[in-house]
Amino acid sequence: MPLKSVFLILLVIFIWGSNFVAIKIGVGAIDPLVLLAMRFTAAGLIFIPFMKWPGWAKARQIMLVGLLMGPLHQGLLYVSLTYLDAGLVSIIMKSNVIMVTLIGWFFLKETVGWRTWTGIFVGLMGVIVIFGAPSAGAAPIGYLLALLSAFFIALTYVAQKKLDAVHPPTYIALMCLPVAPLIMLSSIFIEGTQWTQDLNAVNWKIVGSVVFYQAIILSLSHMLWQRMIARMPLSQLVPWTLLIPVVALGTSVLFLHEPLTLTIIIGGLLTISGVGIVTFRKIKKNEPIALEK
């Protein structure tokens, strides 16, 4: 593999891994769903000038993906990060690969061999170990929200299987902009409008930086990844995604001073190992693989 390709892959993995830290910092400055609504609004407005209308049928499919991705997956992810450390959540989120496999086996009657079942078992044991890890402000609701977030991103991947290739700016604009008002309404219903009572108390530099990071840098990283997928075999790309929790843990320790305990290390290794087994089995059978969002 050319050195340039390795550099670009590592750049994307670093952006995706450090995204958990960015969200954690952001939800410490403003209500999580308000932050998410800002991100989706910004991303939609930035990319809508570059979109190409795909027709109503495909537009509806993209909007369905946006509904699963935004208020459900990302909404639960943002709120879970108000309870749990970023490193822990990044490990739990890798369980989405296992959930996609289980959904395919149970609902779509996909065949799952014993090696894949072994990976599922090892990965789930890792998640269970992670549940015993200390986390600042940890509460059972945080773990539940993170698991639900992983479940909804798994459903998103299943929905994406029905989508043909879509022009990237079109995909981002139609996925983000229509659901942004729904996310804001959810914020008002769940969190209220207390944050608006003293707007001067909000650290807008932090909020603006996080929104910029997610709306532009994160979106561009997905476009770059899609270009690499078109040029390289998935077998060369997907294994690198196993490094995302490693990056998330490293950046969370470095920037947020989160603890890195033996429990987290063991649970993380088991989870990544199990997900790795499932991932490599999917690569061998040339099946769709869940990627980060």
Does 289 reside within a domain?
no
Q: How far apart are CA 64 and CA 49, in angstroms?
A: 21
Give the chain's domain count.
1
Does 293 reside within a domain?
no
Mind listing the pLDDT tens digit for each residue in 42-81?
999 999 999 999 999 999 999 999 999 999 999 999 999 9
The answer for 137, left when phi > 0, alpha when psi is -120 to 50, beta otherwise, is: left
Which residue, chain included where needed, has tokens 């770059």?
224
The mean pLDDT of 160-182, rounded to a whole number, is 89
Query: Would the pTM count as exceeding 0.85?
Result: yes
Does 43 reside within a domain?
yes
Q: How far apart are CA 94 and CA 268, in angstroms?
A: 10
Which residues does 85 contact at the CB level (< 8 Å), separation at least 6? 24, 135, 136, 138, 252, 256, 258, 259
Mind listing the pLDDT tens digit for each residue in 214-237?
999 999 999 999 888 888 877 788
pLDDT value, residue 214: 95
Q: Which domain holds residue 267?
A: 3-284
Does 51 reside within a domain?
yes
CA angle 61, 67, 73 (to 5 degrees): 125
> And the tokens for 157?
């991947």
The mean pLDDT of 17-21, rounded to a whole number, is 97
Does 291 reside within a domain?
no
Does 154 reside within a domain?
yes
Does 93 reside within a domain?
yes
Which residue, chain included where needed, has tokens 């991103």?
153
